[in-house]
Amino acid sequence: MSTRILALDTATEACSVAIWNDGDIHALYELCPREHTQRILPMVQQILAESGLKLTDIDALAFGSGPGSFTGVRIGIGIAQGLALGADLPMIGLSTLNTMAQGAYRMTGASQVLTAIDARMGEVYWGQYQRNAQGQWQVQGAEQVLAPEKVTEQLKSLHGEWAMAGTGWPVYPDMAVGTNVTLTNGNMLLPQAEDMLPLALERWKTGQVQAVEDVQPIYLRNEVTWKKLPGRE
Protein backbone atom coordinates (compact mmCIF):
# COMPACT_ATOMS: atom_id res chain seq x y z
CA MET A 1 0.00 0.00 0.00
CA SER A 2 1.39 3.38 -1.02
CA THR A 3 2.27 6.02 1.57
CA ARG A 4 2.13 9.77 1.04
CA ILE A 5 3.43 12.21 3.65
CA LEU A 6 3.50 16.00 3.44
CA ALA A 7 6.08 17.77 5.64
CA LEU A 8 6.45 21.48 6.37
CA ASP A 9 8.73 23.54 8.57
CA THR A 10 8.94 27.24 9.47
CA ALA A 11 10.79 26.98 12.81
CA THR A 12 13.83 29.00 11.68
CA GLU A 13 14.67 31.63 9.05
CA ALA A 14 14.02 28.95 6.44
CA CYS A 15 10.69 27.87 5.00
CA SER A 16 10.44 24.38 3.51
CA VAL A 17 7.97 21.78 2.35
CA ALA A 18 8.43 18.23 1.05
CA ILE A 19 6.34 15.27 -0.05
CA TRP A 20 7.05 11.55 0.18
CA ASN A 21 5.00 9.94 -2.54
CA ASP A 22 5.57 6.19 -2.21
CA GLY A 23 9.34 6.63 -2.52
CA ASP A 24 9.40 9.69 -4.75
CA ILE A 25 10.51 12.90 -3.00
CA HIS A 26 9.62 16.44 -4.01
CA ALA A 27 11.05 19.28 -1.92
CA LEU A 28 11.03 23.08 -1.86
CA TYR A 29 13.26 25.25 0.35
CA GLU A 30 13.50 29.03 0.71
CA LEU A 31 15.39 31.33 3.03
CA CYS A 32 12.67 33.87 3.80
CA PRO A 33 12.93 35.40 7.28
CA ARG A 34 9.72 37.13 8.42
CA GLU A 35 7.85 35.97 5.30
CA HIS A 36 6.72 32.53 6.47
CA THR A 37 3.03 33.42 6.57
CA GLN A 38 3.16 34.69 2.98
CA ARG A 39 5.25 31.83 1.57
CA ILE A 40 4.32 28.54 3.24
CA LEU A 41 0.84 27.95 1.77
CA PRO A 42 1.87 28.82 -1.82
CA MET A 43 4.80 26.42 -1.39
CA VAL A 44 2.43 23.66 -0.20
CA GLN A 45 0.14 24.30 -3.17
CA GLN A 46 3.11 24.26 -5.57
CA ILE A 47 4.53 20.99 -4.29
CA LEU A 48 1.16 19.26 -4.37
CA ALA A 49 0.68 20.39 -7.96
CA GLU A 50 4.19 19.24 -8.93
CA SER A 51 3.48 15.85 -7.35
CA GLY A 52 0.10 15.54 -9.05
CA LEU A 53 -1.61 15.18 -5.68
CA LYS A 54 -4.42 16.79 -3.72
CA LEU A 55 -4.25 17.38 0.02
CA THR A 56 -6.85 14.65 0.49
CA ASP A 57 -4.44 12.16 -1.15
CA ILE A 58 -2.00 12.63 1.73
CA ASP A 59 -1.87 10.04 4.55
CA ALA A 60 -0.23 12.19 7.25
CA LEU A 61 1.07 15.69 7.74
CA ALA A 62 4.48 16.12 9.40
CA PHE A 63 5.53 19.46 10.87
CA GLY A 64 8.50 21.02 12.62
CA SER A 65 7.50 21.30 16.28
CA GLY A 66 10.59 23.25 17.34
CA PRO A 67 12.76 24.30 18.99
CA GLY A 68 13.42 27.43 17.00
CA SER A 69 11.97 30.90 16.58
CA PHE A 70 8.95 31.27 18.87
CA THR A 71 6.94 32.96 16.10
CA GLY A 72 8.17 30.58 13.41
CA VAL A 73 7.21 27.49 15.41
CA ARG A 74 3.74 28.89 16.09
CA ILE A 75 3.19 29.80 12.42
CA GLY A 76 4.23 26.34 11.23
CA ILE A 77 2.05 24.52 13.73
CA GLY A 78 -0.94 26.78 13.02
CA ILE A 79 -0.67 26.24 9.25
CA ALA A 80 -0.15 22.50 9.69
CA GLN A 81 -3.16 22.20 11.99
CA GLY A 82 -5.34 24.12 9.53
CA LEU A 83 -4.34 21.86 6.64
CA ALA A 84 -4.72 18.68 8.69
CA LEU A 85 -8.11 19.73 10.02
CA GLY A 86 -9.42 20.55 6.54
CA ALA A 87 -8.31 17.21 5.08
CA ASP A 88 -8.84 15.12 8.24
CA LEU A 89 -5.17 14.10 8.45
CA PRO A 90 -3.22 12.69 11.40
CA MET A 91 -0.17 14.76 12.35
CA ILE A 92 3.45 13.90 13.13
CA GLY A 93 5.47 16.43 15.12
CA LEU A 94 9.23 16.30 14.60
CA SER A 95 12.08 17.99 16.44
CA THR A 96 13.95 20.65 14.48
CA LEU A 97 17.21 19.38 15.96
CA ASN A 98 16.50 15.77 14.96
CA THR A 99 15.62 16.95 11.46
CA MET A 100 19.01 18.67 11.17
CA ALA A 101 20.79 15.53 12.37
CA GLN A 102 19.05 13.62 9.58
CA GLY A 103 20.07 16.38 7.16
CA ALA A 104 23.72 16.08 8.19
CA TYR A 105 23.49 12.33 7.59
CA ARG A 106 21.96 12.91 4.14
CA MET A 107 24.66 15.41 3.21
CA THR A 108 27.76 13.74 4.69
CA GLY A 109 26.86 10.28 6.01
CA ALA A 110 27.55 11.40 9.60
CA SER A 111 25.96 9.14 12.20
CA GLN A 112 26.98 11.28 15.19
CA VAL A 113 25.71 14.85 15.04
CA LEU A 114 25.89 17.79 17.45
CA THR A 115 22.95 20.06 16.65
CA ALA A 116 22.89 23.65 17.90
CA ILE A 117 20.46 26.42 16.91
CA ASP A 118 21.27 29.99 17.98
CA ALA A 119 18.61 30.69 20.62
CA ARG A 120 19.67 34.34 21.16
CA MET A 121 20.25 35.66 24.68
CA GLY A 122 23.63 33.91 24.82
CA GLU A 123 22.23 30.39 24.49
CA VAL A 124 21.73 27.59 21.98
CA TYR A 125 19.06 24.94 21.50
CA TRP A 126 21.14 21.79 21.84
CA GLY A 127 20.87 18.10 20.96
CA GLN A 128 23.42 15.26 20.70
CA TYR A 129 22.17 12.70 18.18
CA GLN A 130 23.44 9.24 17.27
CA ARG A 131 22.13 7.00 14.51
CA ASN A 132 22.02 3.27 15.24
CA ALA A 133 22.50 0.33 12.88
CA GLN A 134 18.74 0.21 12.22
CA GLY A 135 18.79 3.80 10.97
CA GLN A 136 17.03 5.23 14.01
CA TRP A 137 18.17 8.39 15.80
CA GLN A 138 18.60 8.59 19.55
CA VAL A 139 19.13 11.83 21.43
CA GLN A 140 21.79 11.49 24.12
CA GLY A 141 20.29 12.85 27.32
CA ALA A 142 17.65 15.35 26.23
CA GLU A 143 17.26 18.40 24.03
CA GLN A 144 18.09 21.48 26.08
CA VAL A 145 18.63 25.22 25.92
CA LEU A 146 22.17 25.88 27.15
CA ALA A 147 24.83 28.56 27.43
CA PRO A 148 27.88 27.75 25.22
CA GLU A 149 30.06 27.03 28.26
CA LYS A 150 27.50 24.45 29.44
CA VAL A 151 27.73 22.78 26.02
CA THR A 152 31.51 22.59 26.44
CA GLU A 153 31.04 20.87 29.80
CA GLN A 154 28.75 18.27 28.19
CA LEU A 155 31.19 17.67 25.34
CA LYS A 156 33.97 16.78 27.77
CA SER A 157 32.31 13.40 28.26
CA LEU A 158 32.35 12.64 24.50
CA HIS A 159 35.08 11.30 22.22
CA GLY A 160 35.52 10.74 18.52
CA GLU A 161 34.25 12.42 15.40
CA TRP A 162 30.99 14.37 15.47
CA ALA A 163 29.39 16.48 12.74
CA MET A 164 28.23 20.02 13.48
CA ALA A 165 24.76 21.15 12.37
CA GLY A 166 22.86 24.37 13.00
CA THR A 167 23.31 28.12 13.34
CA GLY A 168 24.70 27.83 16.87
CA TRP A 169 28.10 26.69 15.61
CA PRO A 170 28.97 29.76 13.50
CA VAL A 171 27.88 31.99 16.41
CA TYR A 172 29.78 30.00 19.07
CA PRO A 173 32.57 28.18 17.15
CA ASP A 174 34.64 27.38 20.25
CA MET A 175 32.14 25.16 22.07
CA ALA A 176 34.26 22.03 21.55
CA VAL A 177 37.61 23.65 22.44
CA GLY A 178 39.35 21.79 25.26
CA THR A 179 37.39 18.58 24.65
CA ASN A 180 38.24 15.26 22.96
CA VAL A 181 35.65 15.80 20.23
CA THR A 182 36.78 16.09 16.61
CA LEU A 183 34.36 18.29 14.69
CA THR A 184 33.38 17.86 11.05
CA ASN A 185 31.02 19.99 8.96
CA GLY A 186 27.56 18.45 8.62
CA ASN A 187 26.67 20.96 5.86
CA MET A 188 23.31 21.58 7.53
CA LEU A 189 22.79 25.10 8.86
CA LEU A 190 18.97 25.21 8.86
CA PRO A 191 16.36 22.43 8.88
CA GLN A 192 14.85 21.23 5.61
CA ALA A 193 11.48 19.49 5.34
CA GLU A 194 13.02 16.90 3.02
CA ASP A 195 14.86 15.48 6.04
CA MET A 196 11.64 15.18 8.02
CA LEU A 197 10.32 12.56 5.60
CA PRO A 198 12.35 9.49 6.72
CA LEU A 199 11.68 10.40 10.37
CA ALA A 200 7.96 10.82 9.69
CA LEU A 201 7.80 7.58 7.68
CA GLU A 202 9.26 5.63 10.59
CA ARG A 203 6.66 7.08 12.96
CA TRP A 204 3.84 6.49 10.50
CA LYS A 205 4.76 2.82 10.21
CA THR A 206 4.69 2.41 14.01
CA GLY A 207 1.48 4.39 14.51
CA GLN A 208 3.14 7.35 16.27
CA VAL A 209 0.73 10.03 15.07
CA GLN A 210 -1.21 12.80 16.78
CA ALA A 211 -4.68 14.23 16.45
CA VAL A 212 -4.88 17.91 15.48
CA GLU A 213 -6.06 18.96 18.95
CA ASP A 214 -3.16 17.13 20.70
CA VAL A 215 -0.33 18.92 18.89
CA GLN A 216 2.16 20.74 21.13
CA PRO A 217 5.16 22.92 20.26
CA ILE A 218 8.65 22.34 21.67
CA TYR A 219 10.02 25.63 22.96
CA LEU A 220 12.56 24.27 25.52
CA ARG A 221 12.42 27.67 27.22
CA ASN A 222 9.72 27.96 29.87
CA GLU A 223 9.35 31.66 29.34
CA VAL A 224 9.34 33.67 26.15
CA THR A 225 11.26 36.95 26.28
CA TRP A 226 9.71 39.80 24.38
CA LYS A 227 11.90 42.74 23.42
CA LYS A 228 10.30 46.17 23.24
CA LEU A 229 10.74 47.94 19.96
CA PRO A 230 12.52 51.31 20.11
CA GLY A 231 10.06 54.13 20.70
CA ARG A 232 7.27 51.73 21.74
CA GLU A 233 5.78 51.34 25.18
Q: How many CA atoms lie within 13 A of 184 on its CB side?
A: 15
Report the alpha-carbon distance of residue 114 to residue 5 in Å, rounded.
27
Percent residues over pLDDT 90 in the chain: 93
Q: What is the reported pLDDT for 166? A: 98
Please compute the mean of the pLDDT values over residues 43-70 and round it to a whole number: 97
**Residue 50: predicted pLDDT:** 95
The pLDDT value recorded for residue 226 is: 40
Q: How confident is the model at residue 232 (pLDDT cuts 50, 70, 90)?
A: very low
Query: The whole model's pTM is what?
Result: 0.93
The whole-number average pLDDT for the span 33-55 is 96
- Averaged pLDDT score across all residues of the chain: 94
**Residue of 225 and 55 predicted with greater confidence:** 55
Mind listing the pLDDT tens digit for each residue in 60-118?
A: 999 999 999 999 999 999 999 999 999 999 999 999 999 999 999 999 999 999 999 99
The CA–CA distances, whole Å, from 33 to 15, 27, 37, 67, 98 equal 8, 19, 10, 16, 21
Pairing of strands 4-9, 159-165: unpaired
Say if residue 221's pLDDT is above 90: no
Of the candidates 178, 176, 126, 173, the residue with the CA atom closest to the CA atom of residue 147: 126
Could you count the other beta carbons within 10 Å of the beta carbon of residue 129? 26
Q: Is the pLDDT of residue 228 over 80?
A: no
Using pLDDT thresholds of 50, 70 and 90, give the confidence band for residue 188.
very high
Question: In Å, how far are 41, 116, 139, 224 from 172, measured between CA atoms?
Answer: 34, 9, 21, 22
